A and B are shown apart, each in its own frame.
Chain A
Amino acid sequence: DAGVTQSPTHLIKTRGQQVTLRCSPKSGHDTVSWYQQALGQGPQFIFQYYEEEERQRGNFPDRFSGHQFPNYSSELNVNALLLGDSALYLCASSLEGVLQETQYFGPGTRLLVL
C-alpha cells in the first residue's frame, strides 16, 4: 500500500517562472493539504482540498493555487516565483471524518528559486 507520493523530488526554477507540484494521496484518502516548510521553520499551511474544492486557506497570496482531481490526487501551482518561495513543499492526505492525527505526509518537493 503506497503512502503519500510527491513529484518531482527536487526542482530548480528562476524568478518569475511558474511551477506545478504533484501529490498522490495515500490509498483510501480523499483529503489533501499542502504545506510550505522554509529552512529552519515548521511547515506552514497553504490550503486543503476536499471534494475537488479548496475548503480552507492559510496566509498565502493568490499566486499559490491548487487543484484536486476526481481520483483525489492534487496539484499545487505557484505563479511568478519569488526567491522567498524556495522551500520544501509537503503534501499531506487524510480521510474526511477521521481524527486529525491520521494526516499522512509525503516526502516533499524541494523547490529552489534562483
Chain B
Amino acid sequence: DQQVKQNSPSLSVQEGRISILNCDYTNSMFDYFLWYKKYPAEGPTFLISISSIKDKNEDGRFTVFLNKSAKHLSLHIVPSQPGDSAVYFCAAVLSGTYKYIFGTGTRLKVLA
C-alpha cells in the first residue's frame, strides 16, 4: 500500500523556467512533509519541509505547497538550474512516529 505517491517518474524543464514536482498521499494523519534531493552515488539531501498546519513554505528558489483537502503537495523550483538535475523524493511523517514514508521519486532534468 503506497501511502505516498509521485506519479511522474521523470520531468524535463528548460533552464530558467519553473519546475513543478508533485506528490500525493493517502493518510490524512501525516503531519509533516519533506522533500529530498538525491544525486547518483550520494545519499538523499534534505531540501525543504512543511508542517500540516501550513499551506506554503518558501526557501530561496524552492517553495513547497500543501493542499490538505486534496492530499497533495508540490515543490516549485524557480528558476530551474542545470545543477538541480537529480531525483526528488517527497516524504511524509506520522505524528508520534519516527519513520519517513517516501514516494518513488521524480527524476528532474534541467536542460541548458
Residues of A that sit less than 8 Å from B by CB: 4, 31, 33, 35, 40-45, 48, 55-56, 58, 90, 92, 99-108
Contact A48 to B49, CB < 8 A, known contacts A42-B105, A107-B43 = no
Q: Which chain B residues numbered 84 to 98 have a C-beta less than 8 Å away from chain A?
A: 89, 91, 93, 97-98
A105 to B41, CA, bound (A): 12
A48 to B97, CA, bound (A): 10
Q: How many residues of B contact A (CB 8 A)?
A: 24
Q: How far is the CB of B89 from chain A (nearest CB, A)?
A: 5
Residues of chain A within 8 A (CB-CB) of B25 are none
Name A50's closest neighbour in chain B (CB-CB).
B98
In the A-B complex, the 10 residue pairs with the closest CB atoms: A105-B43, A42-B102, A45-B99, A101-B49, A48-B98, A56-B98, A105-B44, A43-B102, A42-B104, A106-B43
Residues of chain A within 8 A (CB-CB) of B98 are 31, 33, 48, 55-56
A87 to B68, CA, bound (A): 33
